[in-house]
Amino acid sequence: MEISLAGRKALITGGSRGLGFAMAKRFAKSGAAVALFARREDVLGEAAERIREATGGHVWAHACDVADAVALKAAHEAMAEEFGHVDILVNNAGGSISGAFEDLTDEMWQQDFELKLFAAVRLARWCLPHMKARKWGRIVNILNIGARAPKPRGAPTQVTRAAGLALTKVLAGDGAPHGVLANALLTGQIVTDQIARRHERGLAGNLSLEDYIAEEGAGIPMGRMGTPEEYANAACFLASDAASYVTGTAMNIDGGLSPVI
Ligand SMILES: NC(=O)c1ccc[n+]([C@@H]2O[C@H](COP(=O)([O-])OP(=O)(O)OC[C@H]3O[C@@H](n4cnc5c(N)ncnc54)[C@H](OP(=O)(O)O)[C@@H]3O)[C@@H](O)[C@H]2O)c1
């Protein structure tokens, strides 16, 4: 399906690498202007340039830690001044803090909530008035399959992501009368730096990264991990007019991995 985002402006947090980069590139290719937030300025600048070169699109980027409320507010203000309003908000920035439950401190829990939940709450709060005024908006929350099927290990993210699912439903109810649609993508295993970091942490024993990706992928019903480009296609659909009657839902992008629909 040919999807157009022509004339739309999208903000993608964590847009410099992995899923965020692939979504930004896909959106730009579909005609959207894109704004990107991520922490490392050099990586971000390089990503913005790569997207411009590949698509000829308008890309605006600002280095910012979205888990830092003060920095996020300043970044949003800079964006409003230089890039303008946001039609499409993709809350994607994330990472993983994990460990044995007893070893997780309050600070670690708080950091995970600041990054994965409160950044999304704050950005939605600031972007919604413009979306409502324009009677058109899309919010896509990037979560994981643990949001609906939490594993006993893997806190705090399993808990934060479940909260993200509830936030999606709340935003969908709030936005629906105004043409603002909110949905979530529940991520399985997609080949990005996140997978490479897992490999670096020694979770793969002596396997090479390539063998680790193949072995983990073999345990997924589709027999492989997904690609960021496959993922970006689903996000592009939710961000577009093609999804005009889809709100308050969550889609597994996981090759069949999740035990629940
Ligand atoms: N890949 C998977 O299989 C998988 C599975 C489940 C969930 N997810 C979720 O999907 C999202 C994207 O993951 P990914 O695999 O694409 O990861 P990735 O390749 O590590 O990319 C993460 C992106 O987020 C940015 N970022 C991280 N922390 C940030 C912060 N505090 N403030 C601003 N930007 C920040 C990173 O840039 P900087 O480091 O420069 O800030 C980078 O652009 C995350 O929320 C992740 O938890 C992914």
- pLDDT tens column, 139-194: 999 999 999 999 988 899 999 999 999 999 999 999 999 999 999 999 999 999 99
**Number of domains forming the structure of the chain:** 1
Mutate to test the pocket of ligand 1, among 19, 25, 64 (most ligand atoms within 8 A of CB): 19
Q: Are 162 and 250 in contact (CB under 8 A)?
A: no
Q: In terms of Cα–Cα distance, which of 18, 93, 27, 14 is closest to 59?
A: 27
Rounded (5°) CA angle 63-139-129: 85
Distance 144 CA to ligand 1 centre (A): 12
pLDDT score for 96:
81
Q: Which ligand 1 atom minimizes the distance to the CA of 20?
A: 16
- Residue 2 banded pLDDT, cuts 50, 70, 90: confident
Has residue 98 been placed in a domain? yes
* Domain range for 78: 9-190+226-249
The pTM of the whole model exceeds 0.75: yes
Has residue 149 been placed in a domain? yes
Amino acid (1-letter code) at residue 18: G
pLDDT score for 77:
98
Instruction: Say which CATH number the domain at 185 has.
Output: 3.40.50.720
Has residue 34 been placed in a domain? yes
Has residue 244 been placed in a domain? yes
Q: How many Cα neighbours within 13 Å face the side chain of 107? A: 1
Q: Which ligand 1 atom minimizes the distance to the CA of 40?
A: 40
Alpha-carbon span 146 to 110, nearest angstrom: 19
Q: Are 64 and 75 in contact (CB under 8 A)?
A: yes
| 69-125 per-position pLDDT tens digit | 999 999 999 999 999 999 999 999 999 888 899 999 999 999 999 999 999 999 999
Has residue 261 been placed in a domain? no
Has residue 255 been placed in a domain? no
Q: Which ligand 1 atom minimizes the distance to the CA of 21?
A: 43
| 38-73 per-position pLDDT tens digit | 999 999 999 999 999 999 999 999 999 999 999 999
Token representation of residue 199: 């490999």
Of all protein residues, the one whose alpha carbon is nearest to atom 41 of ligand 1 is 39
Distance 258 CA to ligand 1 centre (A): 20
Has residue 36 been placed in a domain? yes
Of all protein residues, the one whose alpha carbon is nearest to atom 37 of ligand 1 is 38
Token representation of residue 228: 């960021």
Tokens 């997780």 -> residue: 104
